[in-house]
Amino acid sequence: MRILCRTAWAVALLWSACAAPAARADVLPTGPLTFWNDRVIISGDFSITFGSNDNGFFNLLDYDHSVLRLVRVGVAAEVRATRRLTVLMSVIDEAPIMPDEFVRNRNVFRPYGLYVRYKPWLNRAFTIQAGRIPPVFGTFGRQDYATGNPLIGWPLAYQYPTALRSDAVPRDARALVFYRGRGAVPSYPDSVWPTSPGMPMAVALRWDTGVQVGWGRGPVTVSGSVTQGSLSTPRFEENNDGKQVAARVAYRPTPGWRTGVSVSRGAYLPDSVIAQLPVGQRDRSFVQTAYGVDAEYSRDNWVLKVETMTSRWSVPSIGAQPLPDHLTAWTAMVEGRLKLSPRWSLAGRAEHMGFSKVPIQDSRWPARVAWDAPLSRTEMALGYALTRNMRLKASYQYNWRDTGYRRRAGLAGGQIAYWF
């Protein structure tokens, strides 16, 4: 009932904004709200997305929500306490439009970000941020939800659940390979949750908790952070003795050209899982190491983005058919957007996710098989701007892999988004 009420409220508000253009300025703000001589700034967004029934779980998010059936409300605040000190906060509420057995709502207005930003020197481009901070790695996790994504689907690297879990480990290679293409519900022993979604390569829905420093002058910017968890499992509270160290270097020689390199290394397995491993495995460090390269070029009415990411997890080597010491996944993505007119735009994305191979002795598979099902995806979206800060999108997405609940799926979706 709470989900239906929230959806009805959002639909009614959007309908009133679209149906009464003359009064829209009195109903919805068109920009951030400012108070206290512009020292307090409040912004927000909400969106409704409704699409095909994704029973292959190609679009499952970190909190068991599907990108294609989602109601989202977000509010952000910035308080400029002094010239050097700023407090920033962001909370979001998400709910699936039609929850089912696997796509369920567990959260209500959870904190997305809450941190302080401090500038030790006013005349230098150096900042320190502490708290629940934006991620350093890549660009997608820091972009604005309503305006930053020209499509409805999210890049595979930041969303698609693999067969690896952070709260449980497979007994051996055969147990892992059994869940190829079924990262939505891999079931491994010795876990609190019998079934739970696997880890994506990187989580975009949860920001990091720790300390971050940044420096940027001219075309080069450098940032680094020390936080809890890893790229796949950002944590608010520590659950192991490790920390994540991440860094990014970005180069922008001209306003229309940007490129960046990111690295990350952090412990992802909690102590509670490590304690259940065989004695010979408990002294190992189980970490995720990731590398990423991204670039963006814009000119006139079009924007082109490319990004590639590689992630390697060190895993326990146990069971009758032990896994190798490390498992690797990688993605490559090309995305483009073309502005057809002041109101109409066209966007597209093509990407692929691949996995390293593991040796296995089973008649159902060859002697060496990818530890998860390689996945390819293409998506096209048509956008229409109702106003400067309200947009409609319609998209069609096609996914294909060699195994899983569904090997191929064509999924359609629509979205209306508003922000201020």
Q: pLDDT at position 188, please? A: 84
Q: Per 3-state DSSP, what percentage of the chain is helix, strand, and coil (rounded to 5)?
A: 10, 45, 40
Give per-10-residue mean pLDDT for the chain (420 aa): 44 45 57 92 93 91 82 92 94 74 50 91 94 93 80 95 92 91 84 76 90 92 96 89 94 94 96 88 91 96 97 91 94 97 97 96 87 97 94 97 93 95
CB-based contact 349:186 (threshold 8 Å): no
DSSP structure string for 283-320: TS--EEEEEEEEEEEEETTEEEEEEEEEEEEE----SS
Residue holding tokens 């920390």? 243
DSSP structure string for 389-401: TEEEEEEEEEEEE
Q: pLDDT at position 142, please? A: 82
Euclidean distance between CA atoms 383 and 323, whole angstroms: 45
Q: pLDDT at position 258, please? A: 95
CB-based contact 8:376 (threshold 8 Å): no
Beta bridge partners of 414: 50, 394
So where are the chain's domains?
Answer: 2-419
Residue whose C-alpha is closest to residue 137's, from 292, 352, 287, 310: 292
Compute how many other C-beta atoms are within 10 angstroms of the C-beta atom of residue 242: 20
For domain 2-419, the CATH architecture is Beta Barrel (2.40)
Q: pLDDT at position 110, please? A: 65
